[in-house]
Amino acid sequence: MAVIPLPDAVRKSLRGLYAITPDCLAANVLLDRVRAALQGGAAFVQYRDKGGDTTRQAETARALLALCRQFGARLLINDDLALALAVGADGVHLGATDGKLATAREALGGARLLGASCYDDFERARAAAALGADYLAFGAMHPSSTKPLAVRASPSLMTRCRAELQVPACAIGGITVENAAPLLAAGADLLAVISDLFEAPDVASRAAAYYQLFEENARDLPQSTTF
Ligand SMILES: Cc1ncc(COP(=O)(O)OP(=O)(O)O)c(N)n1
Ligand SMILES: Cc1ncsc1CCOP(=O)(O)O
């Protein structure tokens, strides 16, 4: 399958709904829901699959990438740099136990995206920024049914992230359409959402509601989103 590169301007505008795939869905159901999220305006998709079936993961990642290409969205792979490189995804998201950011940055080059989990830790964010992360993720912002033991983080970390590090900030954890506006006001460029999006009765409408929130909150951002 030919991989069509995204224009640089699109690649560098890191703002919008970041739809993270839920576990335990059949591949066809997952793809239908991701398609709906993209129809509603999701700008980024993260393939997050904690199962160990590498053949299925590669197939699903390729199918998700093709879908993202149809909508001009970007696909990142959670945890797995090798899978991201093998399928030609747009980037990888790494947490504290997922390998070195420096290694990933080098392997990805400048054009693909590197996201880093920073939890509630601003010094981790500072280090990740220095290693070339394209966005820094903070959370959980709210209790998360997907990850109930996730550490809780303050939205003020995102304000600091934008002001002190000039790197886009991503909020994650328990985000809903109802609680998202203060996160955008605090400086979130990306809203990473699993359950509120993918468990919605109408995934496309829920994604569109997030899209609308980004539109409404554009003028309230603490600083320009172009770094
Ligand atoms: C955008 C985004 N932010 C944070 C995470 C969490 O990553 P990690 O800490 O590695 O935990 P798992 O997702 O692997 O359980 C994420 N995946 N995406
Ligand atoms: C992966 C992850 N890391 C912190 S919270 C979380 C889960 C986010 O899922 P949800 O949007 O369902 O709370």
Distance from the alpha carbon of residue 22 to the mean position of ligand 2, in angstroms: 10
- Backbone φ and ψ for 38, nearest 5 degrees, come out as -70, -40
CATH topology of domain 13-220: TIM Barrel (3.20.20)
ipTM: 0.99
Quick one: which H or E segment has residue 124? helix 122-130
pTM of the model: 0.93
List pLDDT tens digits, range 186-206: 999 999 999 999 999 999 999
Ligand 2 atom showing the smallest separation from residue 78 Cα: 1
Ligand 2 atom showing the smallest separation from residue 175 Cα: 11
Residues 221 and 51 sit within 8 Å (Cβ to Cβ):
no
Quick one: which H or E segment has residue 192? strand 188-193
Q: What is the mean pLDDT of the chain?
A: 92
Q: Is the CB of 175 under 6 A from ligand 2?
A: yes
Domain ranges of the chain: 13-220
Give the per-residue pLDDT at 12: 55
The C-alpha atoms of residue 195 and residue 53 are separated, in whole angstroms, by 23
Q: Pocket of ligand 1, candidates 20, 23, 78, 120: which has the most ligand atoms within 8 Å of its Cβ, to mutate?
A: 78
The C-alpha atoms of residue 58 and residue 64 are separated, in whole angstroms, by 10
Active site residues: 48, 117, 147
**Regarding predicted confidence, which is higher, 171 or 219?**
171
Ligand lying nearest the CA atom of residue 137: 1
Ligand lying nearest the CA atom of residue 141: 2
The C-alpha atoms of residue 183 and residue 188 are separated, in whole angstroms, by 6
